[in-house]
Structure 1
Amino acid sequence: MERPVFEADHQRFREVVREFIAREMTPHHERWEQAGLCDREVYVEAAKQGVIGFNVPEEFGGGGVHDFRFNAVVAEELSSARVHGPGFTLHNDVVAPYLLNLANEEQKARWLPGFASGEEVWAIAMTEPGTGSDLKGIATTAVRDGDEWVVNGAKTFISNGIHSDRVIVVAKTDPAGGSKAFSLLVVERDMPGFTRGRNLDKLGLHAQDTAELNFENVRVPAANLLGKEGHGFYHLMTNLPEERMSIAVSAVAASRSILDETIEYAKNRTAFGRPIGSFQNSRFVLAELDTEVDIARVYVDRCLGVLARGELSAVDAAKAKWWTTELQQKVVDRCLQLHGGYGYMMEYPVAKAYADARIQTIFGGTTEIMKEIVGRDLGL
């Protein structure tokens, strides 16, 4: 299907990303899955090829390209290859906007060079053991003490939690502040009192390190306040639409990838003396999935074009996120069913795709929260 949202530069970049994944990631992915995390060096290599850091200004060592369609290319190629170890989309799509839009000039000079070169891995810590989608329920606190903030609390399910050198922490800085209670603070690896728990054992995405983080009287310099004090909640709401689009892009690409493999499987796997794809039920299932994935891609591509113009609404991003991730669940489930017993075996790609896909309707805002956003926009 023709995709006019992408131009020649994006297509050339896609070849670079695809080649990088094939050379530097796919051969190591099984080892990363067994280890529970990837090699840190892959971030540096990715930066050298412009796969990460391309949206950082050139003066700080980046590519100086601010066009989310390049982010989408990276997300699509990673999902198509089903290589999930390094948090490249977290790096490009989630963390970068916070640094580019909220950091002051001193902070940019201090943080962006290492970020752009891949030598420093970043994470963002929102979720807590008792707080998921309800961000206003965050209990981690930061109390001002002279030129420092003293941070106490715990975070969980933090992607890049083990590898991260710096973490953007959402903390309550004003207990009585309501929606203005929260601020963003950058906590660094060697700060006393900052510790990491275990690398969490997840259902899928085993090569992506995900950890618990603990803060016990961590003294964070006031110079590490990111954005405006008391505006943390607003900063999060501003940046979440891009994160949700990144997830939507990944969902469609992953759906297309496993669907194409299943179509080939249905042509070659026989039952009752004929290919399973020749049975009407199989044809109808695959026809339905093929149609819905194409429709989802058209909507997501339209959203990408709007986002490239800086006009994408939080509501449209929420629609894209919930619809495409729920579709991904449907696609992998139906594709696994068509594989029969082999689909339940982890040596078949569809089984791993099934496990990896399950988080998609949860992180970045659950399907229920996305529907709430859309519903409120309807005046309900």
Structure 2
Amino acid sequence: MRSFDDDPALRDLLDEKRQAVVLQLLQDLTGADFSIQEKAQVGAQPVEFQLETIGWLRCQAEPWRQEPAARLIEFILYFVAKYRMAANLHHDTTEASFAELQRQHAALQASERRYKTLSEQLQQRVEEQVRQIESAQQQLYEAARMRAVGQLAAGVAHEINNPIGYITSNLRVAGEYLDDLKGALKPGTDADSILDDFRALLQESIGGAQRIASIVADLKIFSNVDQEDFVPCELNQLIATACHLLEAEFSHSLSIKQCLGKVPKLAGYPAKISQAIYNVLDNAARAVIDGDGTVSITSHLLSGGEIEIIVEDTGEGIEPENIGRIFDPFFTTRQVGDGTGLGLTVARDILTLHGGRIDVRSSRGVGTEVVLRFFATKELI
């Protein structure tokens, strides 16, 4: 709608259709014919708007009617202009209000985006803090458990090593006495068979004592939690120790097949590496202990300098829907009270600490393969 900031023409105020209506009304009132033009005409009456002539009114039959008719038209144009002005003011106000609403809406949207971004950032920070807390809880749990095992192993080593030493020494001396006794007896008597049986009992007892000493030594290696610095570790020795402890835990009803290749020393924490290997072996053992399955562990050096340890079992495997959750803290498929659900989580964290990684592949009904990879330190190769 035109604002009339500039000088309007007659057609801007009254279009041709409305001009025809006004002229018809004048004819009805006076009975005379009128015409109106924008161009000047001889004998016509000027029609003014805001002191400017915008048209010429002509009544051919009765010219004396032109002047009052022109004033009437000017009066009509005045109110037309006022209506237009009010309409324009309303339009401008409405547009300004709409523009302000749009500006406020855009500001609200921008503010919403900022708050959404801030909320996402806060959520990420909260999740990160939760992960750090869970990780700290796991570490505290494992540290406390390992420290308890270490204290137990230290106590066992202290309390058992001395008696085992006495027993072993005494059994050897008893064997020497037995030799002396046999030499003093006449050959061919019934005592010979008794002495032979007694010697076999002594040898069996010495073997048992040595077995106890070996288990104590394994416990000392396995529970060395106070080691602060990385030290050169013999991985194959740690693997053998973990296998011996696990077989002892299952009362030797489980036999772990070991195929250990030549691998270099690895700089790390022996107790933690033993814990990772033990956790993986323990999962494999529990997957086959109720059936006729087998567990095997191999070690070898890859061409890229990585040391690879593979633990395989022929158990039932892992359900496809659970394979993505096996590293989640406290996730377990065992019965309540049988396992904490931290075994693989701790193993993964230990390998990450040593710059390694752990991968799990499993097929339902076929078995599970767990691959542990460490980077060997070049100086130790």
Q: Report the TM-score range of the alignment, normalised by the length of the smaller protein.
A: under 0.3
State the TM-score, normalizing by the size of structure 1.
0.21
State the TM-score, normalizing by the size of structure 2.
0.21
Higher relative contact order (CA 8 A, sep 6+): 1
